[in-house]
Amino acid sequence: MAHDPNFYLAYCQLARVHDQLYFLGVDHTAARIALARQALNKALALAPERGEGHLAAGWLAYHLERDYQTALAELAIARRSLPNDSSIPELTAFIARRQGQWQLCIQNFERTAELDPQNGWILQQFSQAYQLLRRFPEMARTLDRAIAAFPGDVTSRVARALVDLEARGETQSAREVIQEVVTEDPSAIDAVAEQWFYLGICRRDSTEIGRALASITPEGIVPIAVRMPRTYCEGLAARALGDASTAESAFTSTRAEMAGLVESQPDYAEALSVLGMCEAALGNKANALQYGRRAAELFPITKDAITGAEILRNLAITYAWAGEKDLALNQLGEVVRKPTPISYGQLYLHPWWDPLRDDPRFERVVEESKEPVGIT
């Protein structure tokens, strides 16, 4: 834009880049919001009648303020001049998913796929909606569509294989596919590192965990909506493998990072949620419960069905790690009845839930997780 200060579409895209950095937690600061708004305002000033600026405004309202009504209003304006832009039903689907309107979410993902049939990424997002609903046959079929649309996308191939883990607790298929992927192209490890880490943790395989961790950036992973730094992943891995000193060091580093974010942004629920898990892992029970509960208060499911559910899952983990088994089981029993990032395979295999495995109440929750969630 230094060469063309009136490049309208570039300002639209710049606004989107800034809002993504903020939303994903890479730079969750007021300064990043200001940069996004600055780029958007420039675009709207250049061409207020064009739809692309209003589409960008919708994304910013969604990502920066979670102001879904404003986002939908901006989409209505954008639709007038961009009736077949796939981003419009895409964002509508994301908003519906956040609001827990699952049928509307699925309908708009389907419309997005009709308008942009070669977009494997949107089909992955579509499949994630089915994953949260524990509707694994539909998840598998949607990922098959993603692979057909973009055969070279290794993340779709691995996600398809991981359906077996989520639905039945079977890991061999995903292990074989990941081995194929990294043998075909060693550089693909970076693309599948997060998926490989999840598989390695569920398998308690130190070699797989180590190779995956080596390709995870310091910013870490965003499994659904809550960013978990690499140090958190390192702590989780060490805890699962019985390396107490490494786990303590890693969780201490994550605690420092999250505490810094909370100090500057006291209502940053995602950071509070991770901070609560770290305090529980480090044996600081009172702090753990305070932070985990505060995160859940700030971000209830009624405010955001996706982030809210993940934060409640993290609160169940916090309770379990803090030795509050009754609270953990009650929380888990509540969350498993909702669309949430919990599956039979995860409960059966993931070390998050190890402190609960000797309780018959946990076994009942595991059995309940085999059933899909009803939708409206």
The one-digit pLDDT tens for each residue of the chain (376 residues) are 555 678 999 999 999 999 999 988 889 899 999 999 999 999 999 999 999 999 999 999 999 999 999 999 999 999 999 999 999 999 999 999 999 999 999 999 999 999 999 888 999 999 999 999 999 999 999 999 999 999 889 999 999 999 999 999 999 999 999 999 999 999 999 999 999 999 999 999 999 999 999 999 999 999 889 999 999 999 999 999 999 999 999 999 999 999 999 999 999 999 999 999 999 999 999 999 999 999 999 999 999 999 999 999 999 999 999 999 999 999 999 999 999 999 999 999 999 999 999 999 999 999 999 999 987 6
Whether 280 is in a domain gets the answer yes
Whether 283 is in a domain gets the answer yes
Token pair, residue 170, equals 């079977």
Token pair, residue 278, equals 């770290």
Of the candidates 312, 315, 289, 218, which has an alpha carbon nearest to the alpha carbon of residue 257? 218
Q: How many domains in the chain?
A: 2
Q: Are 196 and 178 in contact (CB under 8 A)?
A: yes
CATH of the domain at 32: 1.25.40
The string of pLDDT tens digits covering residues 36-95 is 999 999 999 999 999 999 999 999 999 999 999 999 999 999 999 999 999 999 999 999
Domain that includes residue 36, residue range: 1-85
Position 262 scores a pLDDT of 97
Token pair, residue 247, equals 């786990």
Indicate the pTM of the whole model: 0.90
Handedness of CA 262, 267, 269, 270 (dihedral sign): negative
Token pair, residue 345, equals 């395979």
Whether 160 is in a domain gets the answer no
Whether 246 is in a domain gets the answer no
User: What residue type is 39 in one-letter code?
Assistant: A
Whether 100 is in a domain gets the answer no
Token pair, residue 220, equals 């870490």
Boundary (domain end) residue, out of 39, 67, 85: 85
Whether 130 is in a domain gets the answer no
The residues facing 228 across adjacent strands are 221
Whether 191 is in a domain gets the answer no
Q: Are 366 and 348 in contact (CB under 8 A)?
A: yes
Whether 210 is in a domain gets the answer no
* Alpha carbons 214 and 240: distance in angstroms, whole number: 17
Boundary (domain end) residue, out of 66, 85, 104: 85
Boundary (domain end) residue, out of 85, 109, 140: 85
Position 1 scores a pLDDT of 58
